[in-house]
Amino acid sequence: MTDGSDGTAPRGEIRDDEALAGDVPADEIPEEVPGTSRTIETNGVRLHAVEAGPEDGKLLVLLHGFPEFWYGWHETIVPLANAGYRVVVPDQRGYNHSAKPPDVGDYRIDELARDVVGVIDAFGRETAAVAGHDWGAAVGWWLVLHHADRLSEFVAVNVPHPTVFERTLRGSWSQRLKSWYVLAFQLPTLPEAVARAGNWRLPVRSMRKTSNPGTFADEDFRRYRRAWNREGAFEAMVNWYRAIVRDRPEPETTRVEVPTLVIWGANDRFLEKRMAGRSVEHCADGRLMTVDGATHWVVHEDPHRVADAIVDHADPLPPGARE
């Protein structure tokens, strides 16, 4: 297997359950989610992941965004596993139970993408379908632009193609204002201290204010606070933003050859809606599904519609199975 760029593979490996002993609480996975915790060695780091669905099913990797962890996709796991996918939802590096390397450079987008290639390797697959939300979508775009041979399909949820985002930032004061927090996160230590104040008052308030009423329950925030409180976690999470500003990566190509579906919650308060359609224009085989009434948090607000769209785009059954 190759990683699609320099010919070397991250060579991911699934570790036995003892690698997680004592680290993962008994209630990590809600009772209604038929998943199992696993440790995956990939690209020099150890990632925690939740997996579900038939072992011989088509591999589907779900990538969460900021400030979530694997749990951001938990309401989609049951319908996707029932559709026949082998669903794998990692805590990306820096988050929750996964490794938290100390340097900002450890969170460059190239490294984040190679982590996912190693996850695909760990399950012994040449390719996988990938769906990502927020930062998970940003990693997914990088994968389809630099590791296209490892993806069968891609679903991006509420984050645009990197070239579209860069051009929009240059030409739109409106988008610059929406992205003000990216610059704030460049300050050392202060963002972490402010976020932690008042039992994580700021991130909780932000998620509530930018989502539809009732989207997040108290139980959700209990889980998020627990993940954010893990040693070094929030600094590592913010380091994703520090790395992208310092590195300013440019993709090797802007053309996406992997079949791509862009799902966009129309009332996203962080990102301008016009970027969704412009992202599809960079795809050889691209579609846009706009979810009216939904926000940036559409995966939580309409999880079954998102899951159905993934199934429709990345058919879990082999050719001819539906005949």
Distance CA 296, CA 134 (A): 8
- The CA-based diameter of the chain, rounded to the nearest angstrom, is 58
pLDDT tens figures, 12-38:
898 866 566 558 999 999 999 999 999
Whether the per-residue pLDDT at 114 is higher than 50: the answer is: yes
Q: Is the pLDDT of residue 142 over 60?
A: yes
DSSP state for residue 253 in the 8-state scheme? -
Q: What is the pLDDT of residues 235-290, one digit of tens each?
A: 999 999 999 999 999 999 999 999 999 999 999 999 999 999 999 999 999 999 99
Taking all residues of the chain, what is their mean pLDDT, rounded to a whole number?
Answer: 94
Tell me if 57 sits within 8 A of 85, measured CB to CB: yes
For the chain, the domains span 13-313
Q: Is 134 exposed, middle or buried (0-12, 13-18, 19+ CB in 10 A)?
A: buried
Angle, CA of 161, 245 and 270, to the nearest 5°: 55
> Cβ neighbours of residue 150 under 8 Å, at least 6 residues apart?
3, 4, 117, 120, 126, 127, 128, 143
Nearest-angstrom CA–CA distance, 319 and 323: 9
Catalytic (active-site) positions:
134, 241, 296
Average pLDDT over residues 116-143: 98
Q: Model confidence over 187-231: pLDDT tens digits?
A: 999 999 999 999 999 999 999 999 999 999 999 999 999 999 999
Q: What integer pLDDT is reported at residue 182 of this predicted model? A: 96
Helical pair 190-209 and 218-228, crossing angle rounded to 10 deg:
160
pLDDT tens, 144-192?
999 999 999 999 999 999 999 999 999 999 999 999 999 999 999 999 9
Match domain 13-313 to its CATH number in 3.40.630.30, 3.40.718.10, 3.30.390.50, 3.40.50.1820. 3.40.50.1820
